[in-house]
A and B are shown apart, each in its own frame.
Chain A
Amino acid sequence: MNTATHYDVAIIGAGMSGLAAGIRLAHFGKKVCIFERHNAVGGLNGFYSIAGRKYDVGLHAMTNFVRPGVKGSPLGKLLRQLRIDRDEFALCEQKRSRVAFGPHGETSLTFTNDFAVFEAEIAAKFPAQIDGFRRLVALVKIYDDVSLAAQPESARMIVRRHVTDPLLEDMLFCPVMYYGSATERDMEFGQFVIMFKALFLEGFARPFDGVRVILRVLLEKYRQAGGERRMKCGVQRIITREGRASSLLLDDGSEVIATHVISTIGASETEALMQAERRQDAAVHPAGRLSYCETITVLDRQPAALGWGDDTIVFFNDSAKFTYAASEAQVDTRSGVICMPNNFDFGAGRELPEGLFRCTCLAGYDRWAHLPEAAYRSDKARWYAEIQRSAQRFLPPLPSPDALTRATVATDMFTPRTITKFTGHAGGAIYGSPVKIRDGRTALTNLYLAGTDQGFLGIVGAMLSGISMANFHILQARSPAQT
């Protein structure tokens, strides 16, 4: 049998953006195939099993949550475009989250899915700043964050025009940066607006069973629409001819031809596929530098039973300044994010069967990438303890010093190396390159980017990225001048 097949569209990568693009295209009659190197879907937002336990890879919380009836939201747009009924995701809202700054979180701002809570916290803790904060929020609300033609501006500069207390400024940037910024220290204002809306004006939610519920819905829609996928079958080369992607050389050595190609694997990673010799360093597009370690601790009880309250997410920083930059050390434990997935409101009497305590800190890819196996393992164990110790400073004290150890039934941890190994993202960069390509165009006329490096953020953003690139380049098929 001839394995060389022709598709209208080939999609590289079965993450959120690839699946969403695939659903749109298959729904409207395109012959589509998704090629995925890994044996599981989800990419940066997948899940995996160890010893019968399922863990989410990346998802702390789905941002962009709005309640039914709220018009014009990214979530609403996504559900419509993919013909998903919101009940299929069965989203449960967060209880409450915090931004906690100071050596032991002395300054704390609580927020929920009700924005008034956050506003009242700022009015109470930063009374001199509340008018400026309200002006900033008004600006965020009217800003056109989906414009493909916006000029890049420094978010720090714009925020400072309204918020003059450096502590409050950092407390606003910390969550926004941790949940989506691919740039160090500052971000582009449009990206800040997207994240500010996603986190504070909209909110956090998750399905009871985590990200796999969302992936299951996407896979089912894709299958029903007639989309094909090939798992454990990555693309090893994009063969170019006359400025077009003429065919794709697959990992198994076969070739497929596609009229259009959507790559979701990242800009520099895609460029590397176009070169005769795969050299990441030769890519024109800069790879991201921001990577992370995350510890995952499974508990024999709910986190609240350790006296930790009902925080869903805690963004923390212990230092006078908040530094969001590539870590010089293996891990930068000064700041980070705690997630306790048990603390979503799953409904009366419904709770996750085990407790989960996840802590994320910035990590230096280079300090992990080339370690010999034994050193890698021992460094992981050492930093696991360091990260947990750091994070616990921002939670109420345990009833006894060994309470956490005694409650722990399993642990896992990912490092920058894990991210690159399973997702192929260069430098362990979860949020991709600092340079985003909003219109998805590449050097090849029939090859488009979607996903992380197109620049919509979060998992809702990832899915919208796939949708908009499929619409813009393939379904709509008209020149940008006409839009």
Chain B
Amino acid sequence: MTKDETKKLVLEIIADIAPDEDISNLKGDVRLRDQMQLDSMDFLDIVMELRKRHNIEVPEADYMELATLDSCAAYLAPKFAALGK
């Protein structure tokens, strides 16, 4: 899976947990938190949806890797690859 595909999956999750946010113009290198109203409850949901939908575990120590779309892609793409996706 490419980094762009990974980003797309993350965006799908964000669209479902925060349907009231406009995600069409999110910048890849700016913290998600600074572009949208996302609190710690929402980040917890991103982590749990990754586990539920894609069997991907994000340990708490790695939560900061999900700060931006680019960092999400860099962090998650190898995890998807490891699952053969």
* Residues of A in contact with B (beta carbons under 8 Å apart): 27-29, 68-69, 71-72, 76-77, 79-81, 83, 85-86, 471, 475-476, 478, 482
Beyond A471-B41, A478-B60, 4 additional pairs, beta carbon < 8 A: A68-B20, A80-B45, A81-B41, A475-B48
B44 close to A (CB within 8 Å): yes
User: Does residue B57 face the partner (Cβ distance < 8 Å to A)?
Assistant: no
Interface: B42 (CB within 8 A): yes
Whether B52 pairs with A29 at a CB distance below 8 angstroms is: yes
Residue ID in chain B nearest A68 by CB atoms: B20
The number of A-B residue pairs with CB atoms under 8 Å apart is 35
Q: CA A281 – CA B38 in complex, angstroms?
A: 45
**Is the C-beta of B18 less than 8 angstroms from some C-beta in chain A?**
yes
1/0 per residue, CB under 8 A from A, across B2-46: the answer is 000000000000001111100000000000000001010110110
Judge whether B44 and A76 touch: CB under 8 Å.
no
> Which 10 A/B pairs are nearest by Cβ-Cβ distance?
A71-B37, A28-B48, A72-B37, A80-B18, A80-B17, A476-B44, A28-B52, A29-B52, A81-B41, A475-B48
Q: Closest B residue to A72 by CB, please name it.
A: B37
Kindly state the separation between the CA atoms of A29 and B51 in the bound complex, as whole angstroms: 10
Shortest CB–CB separation between residue A397 and chain B, in angstroms? 46
Which B residues lie within 8 Å of A27 (CB)? Answer: 52
User: Would you call the interface of chain B mostly helix, strand, loop, or mixed?
Assistant: helix
Residues of chain B with a CB closer than 8 A to A71's CB = 37
Chain B residues with Cβ below 8 Å from A471 are 41, 44
Task: For residue B82, give the distance in angstroms from its CB to the closest CB of chain A.
Answer: 21
Min C-beta distance of A68 to chain B, whole Å: 7
Q: 23 pairs across A/B with beta carbons < 8 Å?
A: A27-B52, A28-B48, A28-B51, A28-B52, A29-B52, A68-B20, A72-B37, A72-B39, A77-B41, A79-B20, A80-B18, A80-B19, A80-B41, A80-B45, A81-B41, A83-B16, A83-B17, A471-B41, A471-B44, A475-B44, A475-B48, A478-B60, A482-B60
Q: Chain A: which residue is nearest B48 at the CB level?
A: A28
* A83 to B49 CA separation, bound complex (whole angstroms): 12
A471 to B41, CA, bound (A): 8
Cα-based distance from A68 to B21 in the complex (angstroms): 11
Q: Is the CB of B42 within 8 A of A80?
A: yes
**Beta-carbon nearest neighbor of A476 in chain B:** B44
Q: How far is the CA of A403 from the CA of B18 in the complex (A)?
A: 50
B30: min CB distance to chain A, Å: 17
Q: Are B52 and A81 in contact (CB under 8 A)?
A: no
